Structure 1
Amino acid sequence: MLSSRESRETPYSPKNPVAFHAVTLGTFFGASAAPTPLYRIYQESFAISPVLITLVFAVYAFALLGALLIAGSISDHLGRKPVIFAALIIEILAMGLFVIASGPGWLIAARIVQGLATGIAGASIGAALVDVDRAKGQLVNSIAPLSGMAIGALGTSALIQYGPFPLHLVYALLLAAFVVQAVAIWATPETGGRRPGFWNALKPSIAVPPQIRRPLSLVTPINIANWTLGGFYLSLVPSLVVTTTGNHAPLTGGAVVTALMASGAATVFLRRSKAANANLAIGTLTTTLGILTVVGGVHLASVTLLLLGTLLTGAGFGTNFLGALGTIMPLARPEERAGLLSAFYIQSYLAFSLPAILAGFLAKSLGYTLTTDIYATAIILVSISGLMAIRNGREKPAAAA
């Protein structure tokens, strides 16, 4: 709990741990979405193919996943503050690499470093938030990443359209923000502690308890479809908007990506207390309607339909995410949660990254419109089949009883 002195601090004071860590976590994920509106400009400036662009996107997800699995629990042994500080220093290095990037090799290096920093920060800041206030911490951990990505995508788009130095300005501003946070972190109270077992903590712990294997298998199709959708948006949608609508304004493509994250964050907040099965049903229906609307917007070259469809799709994304986690996590004992989350993140981030690379190949050979049709069809079919499997799975035990 916060002391009376700390409670009088201004909302963004470093001595208000929840607010400070929420802003820092949002900044990390905002920076992760900053390259998305720039991908089309990178393609033109560095003569990069859609395949290479999706690879630049995917290596970030691989690096983040590796950091979560290998270094996700080191703050339990070294303390929260030094690990968050280390993540900030690594992120500053990543921003520097983006500033001096002159080709795809630099972009890949910057995204790998950024993925490592974001994975370490996400785990350590998330733990620090729960240390201070469990209820608020869990809510912030759910909403801050999506909110940060929404602000990052929209802010970058605005800077590209209205500011100077489009390939550099956003990273310079983010670098300055991370420097300030790296200094300010030492003014926050330490919420964790030191304990032995550091080297053992570096060994990935991946385990699905027996009682959760069937529920996890049932939600897997919806979860894979969900994260495949997110990866498609963050890797190719700005280029898709330009190609299919002819609208070259960076703010338009950024707004479409922002709509996905913003509506997802709002839905997580609004439906956080609803039953998992209800969330999965509503999420699948909303995602399906949203994707069909997006496809209509692509074929009619309508930015309005793209935005409307993305708002619906984002609402489904957030609701399905809640439903998937709500299905499996309550069934795990406390000592089983870390290994189960690791398995869940592996599944999610592989679905986030690998299909995006395939989308790059399809976009290069078939074009963005046909690639969108293929992905829309696959995501809808996989989601609906997953929902039907869940319902059949519930009916069989009931019939047996």
Structure 2
Amino acid sequence: MVTAERARLSPRLSLVLLASILVSFLAASAAPTPLYGIYQERWHFSPITTTVVFAVYAVAVLASLLTFGKLSDHVGRRPVLAVAIAVQMVSLVVFIFANGVPTLLAARLVQGLAAGTATGAVGAAMLDIDRARGTLANSIAPGIGTGSGALLSALLIQFLPAPTRLVYVVLLAILLIQALGVALMPETVTPTAGARRSLRPEITLPRAVRGPVLVVVPVLFAVWALAGFFGALGPALVRALMNTSIVVGGLVLFVFALFGSVAVLLLRNSAARTVMLTGIVALILGMIVTLVSVMAHSVIGLFVGLALGGVGFGGGFQGSLKTVMPLVEAHERARVLSLMYIVCYIGFGLPTVIAGFLVVYAGGLPRTADEYSAAVILLALVALFGVRRATKMAPG
């Protein structure tokens, strides 16, 4: 018994492990982004198919969050994480052997199920260990994971053999190490009854957070819609403006995610309202710059818009978490966090598919990028109105 206890990870190491798992899952979700062009050339599909493949992931995440989002509150964080990692590894194997659109869709479906299962559990586990650092890690990990996954994939494609397989092999090795870490991590909750009942999909929120959640919904939707667009069509947009390498295309998500992560770090000690307003303003400015840059065919301007959009993503997402999660009881964390991620992934997937149809049937990628930017600006203005109204109505 003493040996087993000594083998357990410390709370600090457990927090690092959990954050790394979230990073790995987001990196795995972003890894196919630089590959879509290669897949498209090999299997001859349209931008609509690209966005559908991208959105299948979001749909699977939604289904998984609705079904398994509360499970770790009842059975514990470790069992749910262990299963999620195993399922994610299966998805990477399917990617490695993908030979057409059907297997690509299957890989994204399995990957989404794994990500949805893990998201609530890993996020809640970090909050269990340290609420302040857990909130910061929940905010910064998506940006780090998304950016590193896209850039790693692009670099491996450009400079090493087996471009459609190697990145998935690397991710498999990382996940295997993390699975061993989960086995050594202490459980952060006491299992309770009701696990089977928790699998019934329901969308309910504790009364204390219903108002704050309504305030942050437009922000979450807007910033994740932007992430979805750049994740699915960003590299293609860069190629449309300038015929360039896969690495430059991979930099689209990296720059977006890097500046999002920097914003989270710089704003980590600021009040939730300040973080939200900073994110919204940066989002509006970023989309204005993007709109002008696409019209002027300026790649440099596009990357400036990406950087500002990344600040908007980091600030908007972190501000939303800081607004809601401090009001949530420990036994409700996974449920509330899962419901917030449901909003995120609806924004991540649905507008992206619409964008794919617009690319094919309504004027091409640059025009679609302009329309998408305008739509995000409108959403950000709605979010700004909501935050300011909530501030005026708050008791003084």
Identity of aligned residues (%): 41
Please point out which of 26, 31, 53 is paired with 2:28.
31
For 1:126 and 1:341, how far apart are their aligned partners in 2? 7
CA 1:206 to 1:255, structure 2 compared with 1: closer, same or farther past 3 Å?
A: same
Q: Which runs of 5+ in 1 are unaligned?
A: none
**1:70 aligned partner:** 67
For 1:186 and 1:396, how far apart are their aligned partners in 2? 47
Please point out which of 315, 326, 339 is paired with 2:322.
326
**Bigger relative contact order (CA 8 A; separation at least 6):** 2
Cα displacement (A) at 1:211: 5.8
Please point out which of 343, 350, 353 is paired with 2:346.
350
Contact 2:65 2:339 in 1 (8 A): no
1:231 maps to a residue whose letter is G
Contact 1:227 1:348 in 2 (8 A): yes
1:299 aligns with 2:290: no
2:203 maps to a residue whose letter is I
For 1:203 and 1:65, how far apart are their aligned partners in 2? 14
**1:188 aligned partner:** 185
**1:144 aligned partner:** 141
Q: TM-score if structure 1 supplies the norm length?
A: 0.88
Q: Which runs of 5+ in 2 are unaligned?
A: none
For 1:337 and 1:180, how far apart are their aligned partners in 2? 27
For 1:35 and 1:201, how far apart are their aligned partners in 2? 32
For 1:127 and 1:213, how far apart are their aligned partners in 2? 19
For 1:35 and 1:317, how far apart are their aligned partners in 2? 21
Root-mean-square deviation over aligned CA pairs: 2.8
**1:159 aligned partner:** 156
> Helix, strand or coil for the counterpart of 1:346?
helix
CA 1:5 to 1:82, structure 2 compared with 1: closer, same or farther past 3 Å?
A: closer
Cα deviations by residue, 1:119-178 (Å, 9 ceiling, x for unpaired): 222222333333433433332222222211111111101011111111111112212222
Cα deviations by residue, 1:239-293 (Å, 9 ceiling, x for unpaired): 111112222x111011111111111122122212322332232222211221222
Map 1:201-212; keep pairs closer than 5 Å: 201-209=198-206, 212=209
For 1:42 and 1:215, how far apart are their aligned partners in 2? 42
Contact 1:25 1:122 in 2 (8 A): yes
**1:387 aligned partner:** 384
Q: TM-score if structure 2 supplies the norm length?
A: 0.89
**1:308 aligned partner:** 304
Cα displacement (A) at 1:75: 2.8
Give the stretch that moved more between structures: 302-311 or 355-364. Answer: 302-311
1:257 aligns with 2:253: yes
How many residues matched?
392
Contact 2:280 2:383 in 1 (8 A): no
2:314 maps to a residue whose letter is G
Contact 2:54 2:232 in 1 (8 A): yes
CA 1:380 to 1:267, structure 2 compared with 1: closer, same or farther past 3 Å?
A: same
1:156 maps to a residue whose letter is S
Cα displacement (A) at 1:391: 2.7
Give the stretch that moved more between structures: 127-136 or 221-230. Answer: 127-136
